[in-house]
Amino acid sequence: MRRVAIIGVGQTKFGEHWSEGFRDMVTEAGAKAIEDANIHGEEIQAGYVGTMASGRLVGQEHIGALLADYMGLNPIPITRVEGACASGALAFRQGFMAVASGMHDVVVVGGVEKMTDLDVSEVSDILGGAGDQEWELFLGATFPGLYAMMARRHMYEYGTTPEMLASVAVKNHKNGAKNKYAQYQNEITLEQVLKSKMIADPLKVFDCSPITDGAAAVVLAPLDVANKYSEQPIEIIASAQASDNIALHSRASLSELRATKVAAKQAFEQAKLTTKDIDLAEVHDCFTIAEIMAIEDLGFYKKGEGGKASLDGKTALDAEIAVNTSGGLKACGHPVGATGIKQICELTWQLRGKADGRQRKDAEIGLAHNVGGSGATAVVHILKQGW
């Protein structure tokens, strides 16, 4: 397999885009990534795009052909990839494998979702399809409800507290306040989180990621020619994916995501690294408990210690391991198909030393962790400076 590098990245601002459509956002992100890569459109040989529910959210299917058309990339093949909230990371993995295998040399990968055109109840119903429709959604389980069950079990087993959950939101909003692409660029306090409206006990409004519009894109090429395009290529040194039971009631544990643990183990083995080598991580914090479980399942902290580590500030920008420097899904926003690509954009900017006011000092190696649904899919990538 060939070594693969990221040579360009681009992202729209995440938020509520009333005046921009689905195709406008992904075209903007793609154009930014292509410009950043210093390439011409005719050099691109293939593309992949992650989107979870464009058919139900905006009534548009056949996304690959749509993007080839509107980005002026016909007749190259562009393929839609779907894996619930991990759609972006799965598309990125497909692009990585296409270049690593030698099938293609220059590949563009995007992620997009337009979610705010429908009311909250409709969007919640659509997102529920990322779980077990027959045994969860049909019986009334929402995603806040599913993650609330995980949170309650984690509290029961390990003594995790609402304050520990709230500390995740506070930290991510502090980072998001420094990110011009973030949906919420404001800091919040522990008290604000704890006093916010209850959604599904123990998860409150400020424990939950928002409904968001947005797109992100990257351009990939073989590492041995990456310097032709970019002065700061970022090498992809690991790519791993794993699956688990889609319904919570079928899993061995409610307080961990087995798919994350398996994918992380494979990724660290591929990269020949350990958690101590990672400077920063973008993890899937769709709810605050998700970040706590992620930093445990990825191996940064022992099971049951993630909450205390968060409350003690050990995941802050310049602490032991900087987690969600972008603001995470919580503050940056969560357009589900775009999130996995946004994580890659953030790590690229960090490893290039170009993350503005949220720059992690001496960042050299970063990890991205994207989850589909309540954990039935997990994707882990590890990146490092490639120059």
| Catalytic-residue membership of 62 | no
- Catalytic residue selected from 154, 173, 334, 369: 334
| HEC readout, 178-216 | CCCCCCCCCCCCHHHHHHCCEEECCEEHHHECCCCEEEE
**Residue 108's CB: how many other CB atoms inside 10 A?**
30
CA dist., res. 149 & res. 325, Å (int): 27
Please answer whether residues 169 and 193 qualify as being in contact, where contact means their C-beta atoms are separated by less than 8 angstroms. yes
Spatial CA neighbour of 126 closest among 182, 91, 85, 86: 85
- Catalytic residue selected from 17, 85, 284, 332: 85
- Indicate the pairing of strand 198-200 with strand 234-243: unpaired
CA dist., res. 166 & res. 288, Å (int): 7
Sheet strands side by side (includes 78-81)? 78-81, 46-50, 107-113, 214-222, 4-11, 234-243, 377-385, 365-372, 280-282, 322-323
Please answer whether residues 80 and 63 qualify as being in contact, where contact means their C-beta atoms are separated by less than 8 angstroms. yes
What's the distance, Cα to Cα, between the start and end of the chain in Å? 19
**Assign residue 356 a region: left if phi > 0, alpha if psi is -120 to 50, beta otherwise?**
left
Q: How far is CA 173 from CA 177, 309, 324, in A?
A: 6, 17, 10
Spatial CA neighbour of 303 closest among 263, 253, 239, 267: 253
Instruction: Write out the two tokens for 23.
Output: 């195709």
Spatial CA neighbour of 58 closest among 215, 213, 210: 213
184-206 core/surface letters (b: 16 or more CB in 10 A; e: else): bbeebeeebbeebeebbebbbeb
| Catalytic-residue membership of 173 | no
CA dist., res. 175 & res. 178, Å (int): 6
CA dist., res. 109 & res. 90, Å (int): 10
CA dist., res. 262 & res. 266, Å (int): 6
Q: Catalytic residue positions?
A: 85, 334
